[in-house]
A and B are shown apart, each in its own frame.
Chain A
Amino acid sequence: MIMTNNTLRSFLLIAALVVALPFATTSNTLAATILIYGMAAMACNLLVGYAGLLSFCQGVFFGVGGYVAGIVLLDTGIGLIPALAIATVVSALVAGMIGAVSIRRTGIYFVMLTLAFSQMFYFLAYSQPDITGGDNGLNGVPRKPLDFFGLLRVDLDDNQVFYGLVAVAFLAVYWLLRRVIESPLGSTLIAIRENGTRAWAVGYDPRHYKVLAFVISGAITGFAGALDGLLLGIVPLSNIDLRMSEHIVIAAILGGAGSLFGSAVGAALLVFATDLLSEWWPRWQIILGVALILLVIFTPDGLTGIWQNLKARLGSRRKAGTPAPAGERMGVE
């Protein structure tokens, strides 16, 4: 069975949203950006929300994915799909390595290790301009067409078509992550997050699972980074810096750590809001700062928490049978 009825229903709903997105935002490129960051946020959530690993090096995977795809497409005759595959694999490897070292510590020490790796890779990126383009970025990434073994060619120059590719990728990633979370691997990760020692006692080596979580997260983040490089035609240095890692983590938590789709919504909100707000007020980040503080204090579960709250309120009303008197209902809001 591919998925339960419930999951199928949510999946279709999300697919509908994905189709509607470019129309809602009136921009194919903005919609594509939202989905790309959505993938990165969901992958981050696997670590932060489910595995309980606050990783501040997601930008490393995002950047590595972009650079590898960019270099392969620029310097070799390799086609789009293999290039994306290579980028994904390399990011997974890097994530595995970083994960294997970082998980030797927990808590704030783990966070600091990921931060240190983030800085180290940033240094690597700008100090090797012959490979990465340095601070100018890796320019001129060609958007080669999709080529299915010479049988079917899909040109991606049209941004609408490219969005189609990103949309399919997003849905595939969402489906994959859903499967991972609902699988024994997912429950093991949650068990390890709740109580690592007990998990060990029952026979699960937390380290293997944590590294696996890193590998999956890194692979998806790298894949998203590669798509970003194709969207922009450039892999900027900023894709691999600490700020990027921060933004991805914020998106994941904003949406709700522990809710996969929530983090995608968080990413969407962040991208969309920053776009809108910056037009209106150059100092808009003050609003973001306030929002983050309010979020932590009042709804740490982010948007998902707000959503669950609303559902619970409406749900309890239905259970009670009688509709509440008008006055009280208004008071609730």
Chain B
Amino acid sequence: MAIYLFQIINGIGLGMIYFLIAVGLSITLGLLGFVNFAHGVFYLLGAYLTYQIAAATGSFLVAALVAPLAIGALAFVLERGVLRHTYDLPHKYQIIATLGVVLIVQELVVVGWGPLGHGVTVPEALSGIVMLGGFPYPIYRIFVVAVAALMAVGLWLLLERTRFGALVRAGSESAEMVTLLGTDVRLVMSGTLVLGAFIAAVAGVLIAPIRGAEPNMNIEALGIAFVVVIIGGMGSFTGSIIAGILIGVIQSVMSTVWAEGSQLMIYVAMTLILIAMPRGLMGRA
């Protein structure tokens, strides 16, 4: 019995990371209708930059602060240079273009850091475990949950309490309306993509000490991101949180109930939601 309780708690921890990975994609998809198969590379680069900066400066904290900003900047350049040309195109072209971006980034990562992965050590202050019931749980993972929660609150405040956030929410309802109101929608769009990339990069930073940085990690991240977005509902902040946690818990509990199927279950869950509740749990009707 205790194991199930542990798996649920562990799952919530995982889910918070999944939320961070997915929320950017959700907002981008909801506002821009832009299918970004390259979303995972922000996560990937977040992890690699963390490794590089931590190796260079010896400080995880510095890496954690600098990496997401750097990737936000990169996302801005990418959006201006490449992605914005595809907003008006049908989805299939957006997918092809972003797949192209993924190929380029993945290969460049191998050129830069080699085909094998790299490890990032857990910062000294956060290493160690606490006991949850009879089970050890890393303090670092608790830290991750805390940071994710903080980011969630920050993002919520941004969306609900700032002008930018209002524009984002309005824009996802109707981009035309926002333009008519005199705002440069393109700035809002850039901002949204950059924000999504920034958050995904934070997820990459946080995950680096847990899983290290390796050249294929964006694929898993993308899969999870889409599942969370679909289940939670495109463009929905609360949907991303609920879905993220749900997926994390399913995955974790499945490891005890039916280990082989733990990855499979999330795709089955997504399919069921897609058929029964296509707008997702919290998506607007």
Interface residues of A (CB under 8 A from B): 48, 54, 101, 104-105, 107-109, 111-113, 115-117, 119-120, 123, 127, 246, 249-250, 253, 257, 283, 285-286, 288-293, 295-297, 300
Contacts and interface: CB of A to CB of B under 8 A. Distances in A.
Given A107-B91, A112-B230, A112-B270, A293 B29 contact: no
A112 B280 CA distance: 13
A113 B274 contact: yes
Most chain A CB within 10 A, of B86, B223, B274, is at: B274
Given A108-B29, A283-B111, A297-B85, A113 B96 contact: no
B91 A108 contact: yes
A87 B238 CA distance: 46
Given A112-B226, A116-B271, A297-B85, A289 B96 contact: no
A297 B99 contact: no
A127 B264 CA distance: 11
B270 A116 contact: yes
Contacts of A292: 96-97, 99-100, 103
Contacts of B104: 285-286, 289-290, 293
B184 to A, nearest CB: 22
Nearest to A113: B274
B280 to A, nearest CB: 9
Chain B interface residue count: which class? 35 or more
A119 B29 CA distance: 22
Given A101-B275, A293-B82, A54 B270 contact: no
A111 B93 CA distance: 13
21 contacts: A101-B275, A104-B275, A112-B226, A116-B268, A117-B271, A120-B264, A120-B268, A250-B99, A253-B96, A285-B103, A285-B107, A286-B104, A286-B107, A289-B107, A293-B104, A296-B89, A296-B94, A296-B97, A297-B85, A297-B86, A300-B93
Nearest to B100: A292
B225 to A, nearest CB: 11
Contacts of B261: 123
Contact of B264 (A123, A289, A295): A123
DSSP class of A's interface residues: helix, strand, loop or mixed? helix
B37 to A, nearest CB: 9
Given A292-B100, A297-B85, 17 more contacts: A54-B95, A108-B234, A109-B274, A112-B226, A113-B274, A115-B226, A119-B223, A119-B264, A120-B267, A123-B263, A253-B96, A257-B92, A286-B104, A289-B99, A289-B103, A296-B85, A296-B97
B151 interface: no
Interface in B234-285: 234, 260-261, 263-264, 267-268, 270-271, 274-275, 278
Contact of B267 (A116, A288, A295): A116
B93 A296 contact: yes
